[in-house]
Amino acid sequence: MENLTTFLEAINLQQNLASFKSWFDSTILVMDNLIQGIVLIVVIMIGLFLGPRLRKKIKITESYRTRHAIIYPLITRTLALSNHILILVLLWFIVLMTETIVQYQSQVILLFASLLTAWVVIRFLSGIIQNQFLARLVSWVTWILAILIAFDKLQPVTTILDDIAISFGQVHISVLSVFKGLILLGILLWTVLTISNQIENLIVRSASLTPSAKVLISKLAKIGLVTLAVLIVINSFGIDLTALAVFGGALGIGIGLGLQTVVSNLVSGILLLLDKSIKPNDVITVGQTFGWVEKLGVRFTSVRTRDGIEHIIPNEELISQRVESWSHSDQSVRLRIPIGISYSSDVRHAMEICVAEAGKVERVKSDPAPRCLFRAFGESSLNLEIRVWVDDMTLGRGSVISEILLRVWDEFRKQGIQLPYPQRDLHVKSIDTSVMSQIQNLKV
């Protein structure tokens, strides 16, 4: 029984091998495939020969790289794949010519061109798309499309996907239209974000615009371009854009009920950008937070303190609360520095020293000049106050105060001006005799 089974399996294997050999001889080992293989080899040699020479001819200077920072990665990626792109262009040219002129479909060249197209697209996009999941998704979609095109199965598959659909009145939404819409949305979003980044770079380099105007224009440009991309995708589904008016009304009700804070922050951000009350690099105080405006966005404002802590403050708070600006209309700020000297020191001489030493600090303005006032008779000291005007509060105020105090201290020591120590008088009403005797023994 076992011998019979082995014999039957051997016969079946021989039949399979014979069928495969027959198919291989009739399909693969034919003159058309041999000619197409030779054409492939010639095209590959041409691409490998011209690619390096093309890269040598194209030279990218540092100034060009700086001016076109957005498209520079695209250019470098294209040059790196120049060999394969040349081969690809030649192959698709041959496929089109043979189909239109000779009315012949070169299957081998079409298969190789489709797979090479997928490989080039994946390699090109992998250097641009930073998101790993999105890069893998694009690679899978590209390979699937390439295989379907290579084996001439794209049309049947698209027909099946188009038949799986849902209709809403005159709107026909199929699986195919959803796939096309998602691909179109991805391409449009990438395009508009690239354009908006280029516009933002041009605006940032503009010297005629204020910082607030730069932020406002760049944000409005990005919002407008993204909105345009979404509307184009919606229109591609066959949805009447006038129907969005009803959706806009429902959205307005939803905003009124649940999105008040979000919309309030957005509106407040636009108002701040328009009235220019707060600008990037302004030094402000909000509540207990003192720092300079790092970033002014549509929804929130970033304020960085001297400690490097970045506070994210909703724009609504900047509109509704009291905000102290140290640089709104003038960069000059007056600092008050209290200082005390002992009662035995010469007050007028000490005041002259304070004025002279404060004027030597680099950031202290000479006009208005530094002043020193006699403020009060303290419990242990004569209280003075140094008043100075400084520029550029983005550099902080602690360093200026510290330098002034150090200079005054050094000069006080040279001139014999003494700083006071707290003094207290102790009055003893009664004391135990044993304690008194111990104190007397200690004196002896």
Cross-strand bridge partners of residue 167: 172
CA separation for the pair 53, 46 (Å, rounded): 11
- pLDDT of amino acid 251: 64
Structure tokens at 440: 């007397």
Provide the strand spans (E) within 205-358: 283-286, 289-296, 300-304, 310-314, 323-325, 333-341
Could you tell me the strand order of the sheet in which 283-286 lies? 310-314, 300-304, 289-296, 283-286, 323-325
Query: Tens digits of per-residue pLDDT, 90-137?
Result: 888 887 887 777 666 677 777 777 777 777 777 777 766 666 776 777
HSE on the CB side for 313, CA within 13 Å? 31
- pLDDT of amino acid 19: 59
CA separation for the pair 269, 264 (Å, rounded): 8
The one-letter amino acid at 63: S
- pLDDT of amino acid 22: 56
- pLDDT of amino acid 8: 43
- pLDDT of amino acid 7: 43
- pLDDT of amino acid 349: 92
The architecture that CATH gives domain 333-415 is 2-Layer Sandwich (3.30)
- pLDDT of amino acid 259: 63
Low-confidence ranges of the chain (pLDDT < 70): 1-31, 59-73, 102-105, 127-131, 134, 150, 168-172, 208, 210-213, 237-260, 274-275, 328, 394, 423-432, 435-436, 439, 442-444
DSSP line for 381-397: SEEEEEEEEES-GGG-S
**Domain boundaries, given as residue ranges, for the chain:** 25-152, 333-415
- pLDDT of amino acid 388: 92
Burial 21-33 (b: 16+ CB within 10 A, else e): eeeeeeeeeeeee
| Percent of the chain residues past pLDDT 90, beyond the cut | 9
With a threshold of 0.75, does the pTM exceed it?
Answer: no
